[in-house]
Amino acid sequence: MTDTPGAVPRNGDDLPVEVESFLTHLAVERGRAPLTLSAYRRDLLRWVRHLDGRGTTTTAATEADVLSFASALTDEGLAPSSRTRILSTVRGLHRHLLVEGRVDTDPTAHVESPRRPAALPRALAVEDVLTLLDSVAVPGSDGPDGEPVRLRDSALLELLYGTGVRVSEACGADLTDLDVDAGVVRVLGKRRRERIVPVIPEVWSSLAAYLDEGRPALLRHAGSARAPTAAVFLGRRGGRLGRQAAWEVIRRRGRAAGLDPEVLSPHVLRHSCATHLLDGGADLRLVQELLGHASISTTQLYTRVATERLVVAYRAAHPRAAAELRR
């Protein structure tokens, strides 16, 4: 069932038909996002080129080929997280080929991935978040011409921190996803998983001000040159606000609030929301559901953050610990 070894010359970035079939499977049957598929394509192109250099193909690859590839990734100086991701993509391809009956064995079955240390999420102090939110909440602070953008920025920041949604989820939200009566927002997360997120009154208040005054003004500014959009958050030209533009909003607003823009990002606000909820006594499962984590182990990283903060506070406050530090 396995193809005869021997690589067939290919043109440029072309991938073998069995690899393209795997990518199609991920897109159609598994619902992978375009950006994710692009990353998989780059990883698999790297794998195919390595096999080309060894005079073999994906359907004839052996465990020795996989080990050689893993060694080459290490020699390139790639971080363990990058090597783990690439090898995971290769492993997914060969499992698919085995299930589809294209090969008799999986050459990745006994190859271990590099150990990837769990990165602790970065979180802002509560005071810093409040400084950021308060700095953009002052009416007229951007002048009359910038008031629609200020209202949008305030609503966006409040939503990101108030609910912990991903920036892609916020930018992808449509007006029909907002349910004011129920006090919830519907979002589509990774792999297009839908979840319902509760929204606190402070966030609704900011959203309402933006939807009543800011969003219509942005649409008027766009005029009739752009087709109407159902997006909640709009750019200055009336179209849907993009992820990169949202990143710039946060860094610009952080800079204006006197915070370091280099430590600010949409994900930092998401991490801050989760960490502050746990600090306040929220249940771990609740935070998992709110953030849309598929695995509880991802959410448990935040308990490590909370625990480390507790240890620091304890050592600074307890008389015996403080005395030990003074010695």
Q: How many CB atoms lie within 10 A of CB 15?
A: 17
**With DSSP H G I counted as helix, E B as strand and the rest as coil, what are the percentages for the chain, rounded to 5?**
60, 5, 35
Q: Which of 96, 215, 270, 271 is catalytic?
A: 270
Phi, psi of 83 (to 5 degrees): -65, -40
DSSP string, 20-45: HHHHHHHHHTS---HHHHHHHHHHHH
Is residue 231 classed as helix, strand or coil in its secondary structure?
Answer: strand
Q: Which residues of 238-274 are buried (b: 16+ CB within 10 A; e: fewer)?
A: bebbeeebbeebbbebbeebebeeeebbbebbbbbbb
Residue pair 233/152 in contact (Cβ under 8 Å)? The answer is: yes
Q: Is 293 a catalytic residue?
A: yes
Q: Which of 41, 226, 267, 309 is catalytic?
A: 267
Q: Which of 83, 166, 215, 276 is catalytic?
A: 166
Residue pair 27/191 in contact (Cβ under 8 Å)? The answer is: no
Q: Is 215 a catalytic residue?
A: no
Angle among Cα 154, 159, 163 to the nearest 5 degrees reads 155
Q: Is 271 a catalytic residue?
A: no
- The DSSP call for residue 179 is E
Q: Which of 83, 96, 271, 293 is catalytic?
A: 293
Q: Is 10 a catalytic residue?
A: no
Q: Which of 190, 195, 236, 252 is catalytic?
A: 190
Q: Is 267 a catalytic residue?
A: yes
Q: Is 186 a catalytic residue?
A: no
**Over the Cα atoms of the chain, what is R_g?**
25
CA 253 from chain centre, in angstroms, equals 21
Active site (catalytic) residues: 166, 190, 267, 270, 293, 302
